[in-house]
Structure 1
Amino acid sequence: MAKLLSCILGPRLYRVYRERGLARPRPIRDQAEDPSRPLLEPSWDSYYQPRTLEKHADSILALASVLWSISYYSSPLAVFYLYRKGYLTVSKVVALSHYVGTMMLLLAGIACLRGIGRWTNPQYIEFITILEDAHRYGTPEHKKKLASYNFDFRSWPVDFRWDEVTSRSDSRNVSLLRSEPKHRSAVNGFLHTIKKLPCQVASFIVAHTFGRRMLYPGSVYLLQKALMPMLLQGQARLVEECNGKRAKLAACDGNEIDTMFMDRRETSEPQGQKLVICCEGNAGFYEVGCLSTPLDAGYSVLGWNHPGFAGSTGVPLPQNEANAMDVVVQYAINRLGFLPEDIILYAWSIGGFTATWAAMSYPDISALILDASFDDLVPLALKVMPESWRGLVTRTVRQHLNLNNGEQLCRYQGLCCWCAGPKMRSSPPRFLKISCPTEGMTCS
């Protein structure tokens, strides 16, 4: 009975990885047409095969999840429409709650049927047993067995915590650069706060509703749902072809960060001793992002997803981004065993914020590479918003979405390569040593 309950509450299993030697051979005709491709084709089709009951129940629950997401994003318009039509009365709200309760009971019943379907599947029983043992014992042997499965990452056990090696005893956020506050008297400061309160409330609402979703579209659930097959294939390629090691990192703010590490230190290539930490763009994931560039060049690579992207939890706000980057660097140094001077930061687009923050906070790193990034978010935001919103946009970005890459870069005195276009990207990289003043900023 306990195993049945585990099947009902257990995570969704997507695929079972196979050893590279067990991958099915490619047809001879394909090999003759393209001799450069390997004889062994990776097991792209090695998806977990659920039983009929589990398969149909999963489809219904997935559809319900998509409908809920659409309802969530359209709820302001729906509430406004219902209010205008006079449907927001007590009697009609009570009737609506009855419908919602009935739907919840039906979905709970479907989840139980899915659990029964899993319970009758020996493959899922084997997986859930390994998952429970990994949580219960946490030994490397159990985690190695668990790495053969790709499933809902929320159930993956934590592999590294931010406080394992840090000297900080509390869970405060890491430091960000902030502008020095203007000095005012107590009375003037209070009156100024009251005067600016409506604007601050408006900025908060804009930043935490559509603002951060426009800035980080990869955190939108519907987009992730559409990209799920591509992400699963990307993970399969990294695990089966590149011996990738997936890990969950717990940041100081409670967010869990999804990472993938490819170790090339055992190869004969000297660049394998260097680790490249990749920071993806605002709609990028390590499964299909810029990680392939240093990987093809023979470097050891560590990829990670922004908070709220794919397996990572949380929302992609600047403070959460810095917290995530901090635990990623700590993981690379203290668990993977790389020295700071052997670490290269490689960022694409909006990933330049976390990369420049890490370069500022860990000045001993080897180098920083910024590809198609920017120095300040405000000018970019003003270009895509109405001119009449200039004040609101500037205030919102500065207070809640301040990606001040240029200011952080000025705090890094090491080597930096900034690729600003296709012409520069196609030429050999040129590294410059950064040196610029940093007055007017405080680290808090």
Structure 2
Amino acid sequence: MVLNSILKCMFSPRLIQMYHNASERHYKPLPLEKWSDRVIRSFYIAWKFGLYTSPFLGVILYSRNYLLPQTLWEVSKLAAGMGVLLFVTFCTRALGRSMNFTYLEFLDVLTKAQENITAHKADLMVYDFDFSAWPVEYDLSGTKSSANTLVETHYKGVIDYVTSIPLHVIAYLAIHSFGIRLIYPGSLKFLQSILESRLLDGRATLIEKYRGQRYKLKTADGNTIDTMFVNFRQPYNNSGILVICCEGNAGFYESDIMYTPLADSLNFAVLGWNHPGFGSSTGVPYPGQEQNAIDAVIQFAINKLGFKLENIVLFGWSIGGYTAAWAAMTYPDIKGVILDATFEDLLPLAVNHMPKWWEPIVKLAVRRYVNLDVAQLLLKYHGPLRLIRRTQDEVICLQQGDLTTNRGNYLLMKILKHRYPYVFEEKQQMLLLQDYLSHVLDKDKMQLLQSEFNVANLEELSNNEHFLFLKRSYAQEYTKSYPMKLGENFNNKQKNQLVLLLALWYMSDYDATHCAPLNPRKFQLPCTIESQNTEGTQEFLWN
């Protein structure tokens, strides 16, 4: 009986904390389990660090003649000794767990939940443990993947193809070793170890305070995605609006943007998820895996939680704008998209942050393997859209402190030029938009509005004959399809006025740095211009 209990505990999951008693939340392992677990986790972190840095370590070892046969023999003996130590450590950890009544009680609940998660979900939600053992509750594995990341490469001839092979090899190795981790640092396990306490507390808050429900989804490509669903303000129903949050490159649902739509002033159901390789989600955040992940999240929201597509809002922050944009393109009937501090294309930022002599490799690596072109995806989405620009953004500005280099500006310009081509037929209107986007202070923007509409304030704007004419023109032309013919017969004055109104309605400024939490007052659902009122216009400009 004792031996059977030890064997069951040999490779069972690590129990971390329990939620039924907030004052005694953290699980207290016996000394045998505690110290054995630390040794095992240290081995794991060291292995991951070695894997990430293997290209550099290989070069260093080779340059110092450490890769000779006799040296490799000594290394193999050392590895064998470490293997024996690791095996003994697993045995002592299992012994410690088998002597702990709390752990055995948890293991019994987990076993029952793995057999029938629906019947035992409430009991399982009491425990926080290694997510690998959590039963899959929504499975898309084996279905046709929706991912589409193919980038065509054109060559001028055989010589061009042959000479590009070394660059392709270097780009491939760079992206698949350290490159993807530089783009998505949240996938680094040692960083997650540093943040573990913060993530655990955040998850506990979502479950204890907001009555969140944790789910495990399986994507079409076999990854498992850790998600958290919150709908705590009323008895569960799926008739309201669901906000799906897409985190940044070092963001987790436990601690970041999910808390904005959960504010008391709002009343949304919220679904958060972690990128592949982030937290308890498996995989690596390559574009294809990202696409399959958000696809599984949306399918889960529709088919498992029961929300209608037209009641789903996508909320993306920073690099999370890519998955939000891809999902919007793939599910064009969603209610709307809100993008906070998002760039239009990864390439300019990648080139800007790397040495100049790396530029050919960076361009090839990004375009071929991590082509996060947010703007091109959004051009294929015709629904309501809202952009939030951080005026002190230090991450997506090519030059820190220079608002004109904020890549969110370029995202807005590309969207407006695509949706309203007749408005931007002449260079003059694009220059006016650039001038508007160069201003940080609201009073400077107000001066532009006053000069174009001849009004003293926004209250007067609603009664301005030019404003009413533009709004009527938009409502008459609006067909939920772009490009639109709006502005086809407008004069320059009318086009200039429309440029400012479009900029107002599509983008709002937030006086904050890139990583500052978004004020819930800035979280406003996107809608079409013809449905806007004066109060909405005023709030967009001044809040």
For residue 361 of structure 1, report the CA deviation from its aligned partner.
0.5
- Whether 2:350 is the aligned partner of 1:371: answer no
Give deviations 1:19-47, integer Å, cap 9, x for gaps.
xxxx5xxxxxxxxxxxxxxxxxxx27510
Alignment-derived partner of residue 303 in structure 1: 272
User: Shift of the alpha carbon at 1:5?
Assistant: 1.1
What is the match of residue 148 of structure 1? 126
Q: 1:246 to 1:191 in 2, by over 3 A?
A: same
1:173 — aligned with what? 145
The reply to whether residue 99 of structure 1 matches residue 66 of structure 2 is: no
Alpha carbons of structure 1 residues 145 and 430: separation in structure 2 relative to 1, 3 Å: closer
Measured against aligned partners, the alpha-carbon deviations of 1:295-353 in whole angstroms (never above 9, x if no partner) come to 11221000000000010000000111000000000000000000001111001000000
Distance 1:372 1:113 in 2: 49
Asked if residue 345 in structure 1 is aligned to residue 314 in structure 2, the reply is yes
Deviation at 1:139, TM superposition (A): 4.0
Q: How many percent identity over aligned positions?
A: 40
1:244 to 188, 195, 212: 212
1:202 aligns with 2:207: no
Verify: 1:52 aligned to 2:52, yes or no. no
* Structure 1 residue 235: Cα displacement: 0.6
Tell me whether 327-336 or 59-68 shows the greater mean CA deviation: 59-68
Q: Secondary structure at the match of 2:63?
A: helix
AA aligned opposite 1:159: E
Question: Counterpart in 2 of 1:290?
Answer: 257
Cα offset for 1:416?
0.4
Contact 2:239 2:307 in 1 (8 A): no
**What SS is found at the alignment partner of 2:255?**
coil
Answering whether residue 505 of structure 2 is matched by residue 410 of structure 1, we say: no
What TM-score, normalized by structure 2, do the two folds share? Answer: 0.69
- Alignment of structure 1 residues 112-123 onto 2, 5 Å: 112-123=91-102
Cα distance in 1 for partners of 2:26, 2:243 equals 30
In the alignment, the residues of structure 2 paired with residue 245 and residue 303 of structure 1 have an alpha-carbon distance, to the nearest angstrom, of: 10
* TM-align CA RMSD: 2.4
Aligned counterpart, 1:221: 189
Is residue 319–residue 343 contact of structure 2 (8 Å, CA) maintained in 1?
yes
Whole-angstrom CA distance in 2 between matches of 1:324 and 1:138: 24
After superposition, the Cα gap between the structure-2 partners of 1:214 and 1:45, relative to the gap in structure 1 and judged at 3 Å, is farther
1:134 paired with 2:150, answer: no
TM-score (norm: length of structure 1): 0.84
- Partners of 1:221 and 1:208 lie apart in 2 by 16
CA distance in 2, matches of 1:430, 1:59: 46
Asked if 1:329 corresponds to 2:329, the answer is: no
The answer to whether 1:275 aligns with 2:242 is yes
Is the 8 Å Cα contact of residues 249 and 320 (structure 2) preserved in structure 1? yes
Q: Distance in 1 between matches of 2:160 and 2:187?
A: 35
Distance 1:431 1:180 in 2: 34
Larger Rg: 2
Tell me, yes or no, if structure 1 residue 17 matches structure 2 residue 19: yes
SS at match of 1:395: helix
Q: CA deviation at 1:246?
A: 0.6
Deviation of 1:194 after TM superposition, in Å, equals: 3.3
Deviations 1:152-205 (A, max 9, x none): 111111110126xxxxxx5443143656665x8xxx766654342222112111
Quote the residue 1:232 is aligned against: 200
- CA–CA distance in structure 1, aligned partners of residues 58 and 525 of structure 2: 55
Question: 1:272–1:299: 8 Å Cα contact kept in structure 2?
Answer: no
C-alpha separation between the residues in 1 aligned to 2:108 and 2:102? 10
SS, match of residue 273 in structure 1: coil
5 Å-filtered alignment, 1:417-428, equals 417-422=386-391, 424-425=509-510
CA distance in 1, matches of 2:159, 2:352: 33
Match of 2:329 in 1: 360
Distance 2:317 2:283 in 1: 21
Query: Are the structure 2 counterparts of residues 76 and 173 from structure 1 closer, same or farther at C-alpha, using a change threshold of 3 Å?
Result: same
* C-alpha contact 1:44 1:233 (8 A) present in aligned 2: no
Amino acid at match of 1:10: S
Contact 2:117 2:137 in 1 (8 A): no
Spell out, residue by residue over 1:33-86, the C-alpha distance to the aligned partner (whole angstroms, 9 max, x if none). xxxxxxxxxx27510111111112112222232333333344444433333333
* Alpha-carbon offset, residue 132 of structure 1: 1.7
Where does structure 2 lack aligned partners over 5 or more consecutive residues? 392-507, 511-518, 530-543
**What is aligned with 2:48?**
69
2:48 and 2:189 in contact (8 A); partners too: yes
Kindly indicate whether the alpha-carbon contact (under 8 Å) linking 2:149 and 2:288 is maintained by their aligned counterparts in 1: no
The 3 A distance-change label for structure 1 pair 276 and 85 is same
Cα offset, 1:263, TM superposition: 1.7
| Secondary structure at the counterpart of residue 174 of structure 1 | coil
Q: What is the number of equivalent residue pairs in this alignment?
A: 399
| Aligned residue in 1 for 2:526 | 431
Residue 261 of structure 1 corresponds to which residue in structure 2?
A: 229
- In the TM superposition, residue 272 of structure 1 has moved relative to its aligned partner by 7.9
The Cα of 1:2 is off from its aligned counterpart by 3.0
SS in 2 for 1:316: coil
* Alignment partner of 1:158 out of 136, 152, 160: 136
The 1-side partners of 2:229 and 2:218 are apart by 16
Aligned-partner residue type, residue 135 of structure 2: P
